[in-house]
Structure 1
Amino acid sequence: MRDHPVIKAMERTGFSNMVAQVEHVGIDYFDHEILVGDDIVEFDGEVILQDNLERYLSEVLGFEFKTA
Protein backbone atom coordinates (compact mmCIF):
# COMPACT_ATOMS: atom_id res chain seq x y z
CA MET A 1 0.00 0.00 0.00
CA ARG A 2 1.41 3.39 -1.00
CA ASP A 3 1.14 6.56 1.08
CA HIS A 4 -0.69 9.50 -0.40
CA PRO A 5 1.76 12.12 -1.81
CA VAL A 6 0.39 14.83 0.50
CA ILE A 7 1.00 12.63 3.55
CA LYS A 8 4.52 11.88 2.39
CA ALA A 9 5.18 15.61 1.93
CA MET A 10 3.82 16.37 5.41
CA GLU A 11 6.03 13.69 6.94
CA ARG A 12 9.02 15.08 5.08
CA THR A 13 8.50 18.84 5.57
CA GLY A 14 5.83 19.26 8.25
CA PHE A 15 2.67 21.32 7.77
CA SER A 16 4.28 23.78 5.39
CA ASN A 17 1.02 25.22 4.07
CA MET A 18 -0.30 26.39 7.45
CA VAL A 19 -1.18 30.08 7.58
CA ALA A 20 1.05 32.20 9.81
CA GLN A 21 -0.84 33.69 12.74
CA VAL A 22 -0.75 37.46 13.32
CA GLU A 23 0.57 38.37 16.76
CA HIS A 24 -2.12 38.96 19.39
CA VAL A 25 -1.39 41.97 21.62
CA GLY A 26 -4.45 42.16 23.85
CA ILE A 27 -8.19 42.77 23.93
CA ASP A 28 -10.20 45.97 23.76
CA TYR A 29 -13.01 47.28 25.97
CA PHE A 30 -15.53 45.00 24.21
CA ASP A 31 -13.27 41.90 24.53
CA HIS A 32 -12.32 41.99 20.85
CA GLU A 33 -8.88 40.71 19.97
CA ILE A 34 -6.26 43.35 19.15
CA LEU A 35 -3.65 42.26 16.60
CA VAL A 36 -0.35 43.87 15.64
CA GLY A 37 -1.14 46.70 13.23
CA ASP A 38 -4.70 47.33 14.44
CA ASP A 39 -5.69 50.97 14.99
CA ILE A 40 -6.65 51.65 18.61
CA VAL A 41 -7.85 54.55 20.73
CA GLU A 42 -6.88 55.01 24.37
CA PHE A 43 -9.25 56.92 26.61
CA ASP A 44 -9.38 57.14 30.40
CA GLY A 45 -7.33 53.96 30.80
CA GLU A 46 -9.39 51.97 28.31
CA VAL A 47 -8.19 50.59 24.97
CA ILE A 48 -10.74 50.55 22.16
CA LEU A 49 -10.31 49.27 18.64
CA GLN A 50 -10.91 52.14 16.25
CA ASP A 51 -13.61 50.02 14.59
CA ASN A 52 -15.44 49.98 17.95
CA LEU A 53 -15.04 53.70 18.73
CA GLU A 54 -18.53 54.77 17.65
CA ARG A 55 -20.03 51.92 19.72
CA TYR A 56 -17.96 52.99 22.75
CA LEU A 57 -18.97 56.63 22.39
CA SER A 58 -22.62 55.68 22.09
CA GLU A 59 -22.98 52.83 24.59
CA VAL A 60 -20.49 53.88 27.26
CA LEU A 61 -20.32 57.65 27.08
CA GLY A 62 -23.87 58.31 25.92
CA PHE A 63 -23.06 60.16 22.70
CA GLU A 64 -25.98 60.47 20.29
CA PHE A 65 -25.24 60.36 16.58
CA LYS A 66 -27.69 62.32 14.40
CA THR A 67 -27.92 63.76 10.92
CA ALA A 68 -28.04 67.57 10.74
Structure 2
Amino acid sequence: MANLKHPKVTEILKTGYANLNAQPEYFGTDYFGNEVLKGDSVVIDPSNGEMVLEVNLEDYLIEVKGFQFKTAD
Protein backbone atom coordinates (compact mmCIF):
# COMPACT_ATOMS: atom_id res chain seq x y z
CA MET A 1 0.00 0.00 0.00
CA ALA A 2 1.25 3.49 -0.84
CA ASN A 3 2.35 5.76 1.98
CA LEU A 4 -0.55 8.26 1.99
CA LYS A 5 0.05 11.41 3.99
CA HIS A 6 -3.10 13.43 3.38
CA PRO A 7 -4.51 14.32 6.84
CA LYS A 8 -8.01 13.03 6.07
CA VAL A 9 -6.69 9.72 4.73
CA THR A 10 -4.42 9.37 7.76
CA GLU A 11 -7.36 10.06 10.10
CA ILE A 12 -9.59 7.53 8.33
CA LEU A 13 -6.87 4.87 8.47
CA LYS A 14 -6.26 5.61 12.17
CA THR A 15 -9.84 5.93 13.43
CA GLY A 16 -11.91 4.24 10.75
CA TYR A 17 -13.87 7.39 9.91
CA ALA A 18 -13.34 11.00 8.87
CA ASN A 19 -13.92 13.92 11.21
CA LEU A 20 -16.82 15.50 9.36
CA ASN A 21 -17.19 18.20 12.03
CA ALA A 22 -13.80 19.77 11.38
CA GLN A 23 -14.20 23.44 10.59
CA PRO A 24 -12.05 25.10 7.91
CA GLU A 25 -9.64 27.68 9.28
CA TYR A 26 -10.70 31.30 8.75
CA PHE A 27 -8.14 33.38 6.82
CA GLY A 28 -9.86 36.75 6.32
CA THR A 29 -12.19 38.54 3.93
CA ASP A 30 -11.68 39.51 0.33
CA TYR A 31 -12.32 42.88 -1.36
CA PHE A 32 -16.04 42.10 -1.68
CA GLY A 33 -16.38 41.06 1.96
CA ASN A 34 -16.50 37.34 1.19
CA GLU A 35 -15.07 34.97 3.78
CA VAL A 36 -11.72 33.47 2.80
CA LEU A 37 -10.81 30.12 4.32
CA LYS A 38 -7.36 28.58 4.55
CA GLY A 39 -6.78 26.73 1.28
CA ASP A 40 -8.99 29.00 -0.86
CA SER A 41 -7.50 30.29 -4.13
CA VAL A 42 -6.99 34.04 -3.93
CA VAL A 43 -5.46 36.73 -6.10
CA ILE A 44 -3.57 39.69 -4.65
CA ASP A 45 -3.66 43.01 -6.51
CA PRO A 46 -0.03 44.20 -6.42
CA SER A 47 -1.04 47.84 -6.85
CA ASN A 48 -2.92 48.03 -3.55
CA GLY A 49 -2.58 44.66 -1.79
CA GLU A 50 -6.29 43.84 -2.06
CA MET A 51 -7.11 40.14 -1.78
CA VAL A 52 -9.82 38.71 -4.04
CA LEU A 53 -11.15 35.17 -4.17
CA GLU A 54 -10.15 33.74 -7.53
CA VAL A 55 -13.80 33.01 -8.36
CA ASN A 56 -14.49 36.77 -8.01
CA LEU A 57 -11.53 37.94 -10.10
CA GLU A 58 -13.57 38.79 -13.19
CA ASP A 59 -15.97 40.93 -11.10
CA TYR A 60 -13.01 42.71 -9.49
CA LEU A 61 -11.39 43.43 -12.84
CA ILE A 62 -14.63 44.85 -14.25
CA GLU A 63 -15.90 46.78 -11.22
CA VAL A 64 -12.65 48.04 -9.73
CA LYS A 65 -10.12 48.14 -12.55
CA GLY A 66 -12.49 48.96 -15.41
CA PHE A 67 -11.58 45.97 -17.58
CA GLN A 68 -13.91 45.10 -20.44
CA PHE A 69 -14.45 41.48 -21.45
CA LYS A 70 -15.45 41.09 -25.10
CA THR A 71 -15.51 38.46 -27.79
CA ALA A 72 -13.12 39.06 -30.66
CA ASP A 73 -14.96 39.74 -33.91
TM-score by length of 1: 0.70
Q: How many residues align?
A: 52
Task: Identify, as 1 or 2, the structure richer in strand.
Answer: 1
Deviation of residue 19 (structure 1)?
2.0
- Gapped regions of structure 2 (runs ≥ 5): 1-18
- For 1:25 and 1:42, how far apart are their aligned partners in 2? 14
- For 1:20 and 1:63, how far apart are their aligned partners in 2? 39
- For 1:18 and 1:53, how far apart are their aligned partners in 2? 30
Q: Share of identical aligned residues, percent? A: 56
Bigger Rg, structure 1 or 2: 1
The amino acid across from 2:36 in the alignment is: I
Q: Where has structure 1 moved over 4 Å in runs of 4 or more?
A: none
List aligned pairs for 1:38-57, cutoff 5 A.
38-43=40-45, 44-57=48-61
